[in-house]
Structure 1
Amino acid sequence: MHGMFTTAALALATLVSAAPVDQPKVSARAVNDVYNMYHGDGSPQAGWPDQNRWGSFDELWSVNSALMRQSCGWNGWGQDNSQQEINDIRRAIEQVSGETGVDSRFILAIVMQESKGCVRAPTTNNGVVNPGLMQSHNGAGSCAGVSNCPYDTILLMIRDGTAGTAHGDGLRQTLDKTSGPTGGGARNHYAAARMYNSGSVDYGNLNNGFTSTACYAADVANRLTGWTLAGSGCHL
Structure 2
Amino acid sequence: MYLTLLCAASLLGIVSPAPLSAPASNQVFALGAANHPTDINDGAGAGSDIYRTYSGDGSASAGWPEMAQWVSFEDMFNANKNFMRVSCVNLGSDNGPDNSDEEIDQIWDAVQSASSQTNVDHRFILAILLQESNGCVRVRTTDNGVPNPGLMQAHNGGFSCNTNGNIQTPCPASEITGMVLDGTAGTLTGDGLAGILNQGAGKDAKAYYRTARQYNTGSIAESGNLDEGGYSTSCYASDIANRLTGWVWAVSNCAL
Same fold (TM over 0.5): yes
Is 1:5 the equivalent of 2:27? no
SS of the aligned residue for 1:168 comes to coil
Displacement of 1:204 in angstroms is 2.4
- Name the aligned partner's letter for residue 156 of structure 1: G
What are structure 1's unaligned runs of at least 5 residues? Answer: none
Identity between Structure 1 and Structure 2 (%): 49
Match of 1:175 in 2: 197
Q: Among 215, 230, 233, which residue is 1:213 paired with?
A: 233
Displacement of 1:116 in angstroms is 0.4
Rounded Cα–Cα distance in structure 1 between residues aligned with 2:161 and 2:198: 29
SS of the aligned residue for 2:80 comes to helix
Structure 1 residues 142 and 25 mapped into 2: Cα distance closer, same or farther (>3 Å)? Answer: closer
Query: Which sits farther off after the overlay, 101-110 or 206-215?
Result: 206-215
1:190-224 CA-partner distances (Å, limit 9, x unpaired): 00000100110136201111221111100000000
Match of 2:107 in 1: 89
Is 1:146 the equivalent of 2:157? no
Match of 1:189 in 2: 208
Structure 1 residues 30 and 89 mapped into 2: Cα distance closer, same or farther (>3 Å)? Answer: closer
Is 1:15 the equivalent of 2:31? no
1:88-114 CA-partner distances (Å, limit 9, x unpaired): 000010011001100000000000000
**Does the CA-based 8 Å contact 1:39-1:205 persist in structure 2?**
yes
Is 1:69 the equivalent of 2:85? yes
1:143-165 CA-partner distances (Å, limit 9, x unpaired): 11222100000000001000000
- Name the aligned partner's letter for residue 193 of structure 2: L
**Does the CA-based 8 Å contact 1:54-1:225 persist in structure 2?**
yes
Spell out the pairing of 1:112-127 with structure 2 (5 A cutoff): 112-127=130-145
Is 1:42 the equivalent of 2:58? yes
Match of 2:18 in 1: none
1:40-93 CA-partner distances (Å, limit 9, x unpaired): 110111100000100000010011122111111122222110111111000010
**Does the CA-based 8 Å contact 2:4-2:145 persist in structure 1?**
no
Higher relative contact order (CA 8 A, sep 6+): 2
Rounded Cα–Cα distance in structure 2 between residues aligned with 1:208 and 1:16: 27
Q: Over aligned residue pairs, what C-alpha RMSD do you find?
A: 2.1
Q: Could you state the TM-score of these two structures normalised by the residue count of structure 2?
A: 0.85
Give every structure 1 segment of 4 or more consecutive aligned residues whose post-TM-superposition deviation is greater than 3 Å: 11-14, 16-20, 22-26
Match of 1:134 in 2: 152
**Does the CA-based 8 Å contact 2:4-2:144 persist in structure 1?**
no
Match of 2:129 in 1: 111
Rounded Cα–Cα distance in structure 1 between residues aligned with 2:25 and 2:191: 12
**Does the CA-based 8 Å contact 2:67-2:205 persist in structure 1?**
yes
**Does the CA-based 8 Å contact 2:148-2:156 persist in structure 1?**
yes
**Does the CA-based 8 Å contact 1:20-1:99 persist in structure 2?**
no
Rounded Cα–Cα distance in structure 2 between residues aligned with 1:221 and 1:234: 12
What are structure 2's unaligned runs of at least 5 residues? Answer: 13-23
